[in-house]
Each structure stands twice: as structure tokens, then as C-alpha cells.
Amino acid sequence: MTADRPALLHLDASPSRSADSVSRQLTALFADAWRERHGSSGYRYRDVAADPVPLTGGAYATLGRRVERHGAVPLDTVAELVADADEEREWALTLPLISELLAADTVLIGTPMYNLSVPAAMKAWIDRVTFPGAYTDPATGEHLLARTRVVVVTARGGSYGPGTPREGMDFQLPYLRCYFRGLGVAESRLYLVNADLTRAADIPALAGFQGLAAASLAAATAEVTALAAGGVRAG
């Protein structure tokens, strides 16, 4: 990343690529506003639902353990520790994803809730990019993502907030917060935007909550718009 050319990495994980996807609508709003402000040269888009990231294999784990045993290993020297063709393939699939994440000033992620957490497509990306030592400067120990802004937009068909029947069953937002904090993203640079009750208009049992759904979507839209314009409201 460079100070004079901001870079945005935009990931979508919803399998729905129609207007039905609230997470895609919201990330598109952010991305459009960001490109209008900064231009398109620094924009990188990855649809992990349409073009899935391959699941990590045994060779990925073997290579990762070997790298960990060597301590702090710069990314550009990991290839020297590759032992066979399977490990070479795993590293070839992994390094470009890590590199584009490290190159981004802002990471924008859109993901629905699936079975109380994130979709498999999102988890496959997470598992692939979480390579040992990739986000720590081997010379200084600095977290390489400490100054990266991460905006995560989530959409859930129901509601999981305080006082709801499913309070305590949200394993999506807490997981994503813990994951990115563990990766070294500063709390002040991590924003979680959520739209609840997105299925209220088409599931009869949720029909009585359409007003709450509209309010939740309006709040999420306003927050995404503010963040795209450079806002820094706490996530």
C-alpha cells in the first residue's frame, strides 16, 4: 500500500448474486463511493462464492508447521522451505491472497450469516490466508495489519441482539471480531456493520418485524455510507 494511492480489497461471500443479497448491496454501496472518491486503480474485487478459494490441504498444514519451526520467516523466503510439489501448489494458491490482503489500506467484506456463523466460502478464504507469521514483520515483530482498516458487513435473516429469542446464538460477529483482532488489526480500525431481519419481508413468521428490518437496513446503509466517505465511528 502507498500513501498516495489508497487500495481497497473487496470480498463478497454471499452465494446470492441477485438483488436479494443485502450484504452485496451494502458492500457495493461502499465500493462505489470509495471508487468515486479514490478512482478504480487501487480497487481489487474477489467473489469467494462465485470463485471459491480452494480448501487447504495436508501439504498446507505441513508447510505451515515447518515454517513455524523456523521462527520468523519473511514471506519471500517461504518458498525455500517448500519440500515437494504438493506444498509448492499450496503455497502458489496462498501467497497471492496474502499479498493482496497486505497490499490493501481498506479491506471490505460482505457476508451473510449461515448456520449462526460465516458461509463455508468465507471460511475457506480465512483458512487460506491465515498462514503462520504472514502478518508479523520478522525484523521488528510489528503487526503488519495494524494500520489496515477492515469493514465487515453482515446480513442475518433473523435477529440475535439483546432481548431476542436467539440472544447468545450469534457466532458470526464475535468470531469475525476475534479473528481480525488476532490477525493484528487494531480495534479502532475494525468496523462491524450489521443488517438484521433481512428475511422479514418473505418469511411469514417474521412479517411482524418488517419495521425493525427496515430500520436496521437504514442504519446499516447510513453507516456504510459514512465509512466509505472516511468516517471513523467505532465498530
Give the tens place of pLDDT for each residue, 50-106.
999 999 999 999 999 999 999 889 999 999 999 999 999 999 999 999 999 999 999
Give domain limits for the chain: 8-228
End-to-end distance of the chain based on CA atoms, in angstroms? 23
* pLDDT for residue 192 is more than 50: yes
The H-or-E segment that residue 106 falls in is strand 106-112
* pLDDT for residue 233 is more than 60: no
Written as nine digits, the cell of 214 is 427496515
Position 166 confidence tier, pLDDT thresholds 50, 70, 90:
confident
Position 2 confidence tier, pLDDT thresholds 50, 70, 90:
very low
- For residue 235, the model assigns a pLDDT of 38
Question: Exposure string (b/e) for 213-226, b if CB count within 10 Å is 16 or more?
Answer: beebbeebbebbee
Q: What is the mean pLDDT of residues 205-234?
A: 83
* pLDDT for residue 230 is more than 90: no
SS3 110: strand
- For residue 9, the model assigns a pLDDT of 98
SS3 50: coil
The string of pLDDT tens digits covering residues 19-29 is 789 999 999 99
* pLDDT for residue 234 is more than 70: no
Percent of the chain residues topping a pLDDT of 70: 96
Residues contacting residue 165 through CB under 8 Å, at least 6 positions apart: none
Work out the mean pLDDT of the chain and round it to a whole number: 92
Fold of the domain spanning 8-228? Rossmann fold (3.40.50)
Q: Are 215 and 176 in contact (CB under 8 A)?
A: no
The string of pLDDT tens digits covering residues 130-162 is 999 999 999 999 999 999 999 999 999 888 888
- For residue 1, the model assigns a pLDDT of 47
Q: Which of 9, 95, 99 is nearest to 46 (CA)?
A: 9
* pLDDT for residue 3 is more than 60: no
Residues contacting residue 182 through CB under 8 Å, at least 6 positions apart: none
Written as nine digits, the cell of 11 is 470480498
- Cα–Cα distance between 34 and 39 in angstroms, integer? 8
- Cα–Cα distance between 99 and 10 in angstroms, integer? 14
**Continuous H helices in the chain:** 22-38, 58-69, 85-103, 120-129, 173-182, 210-228
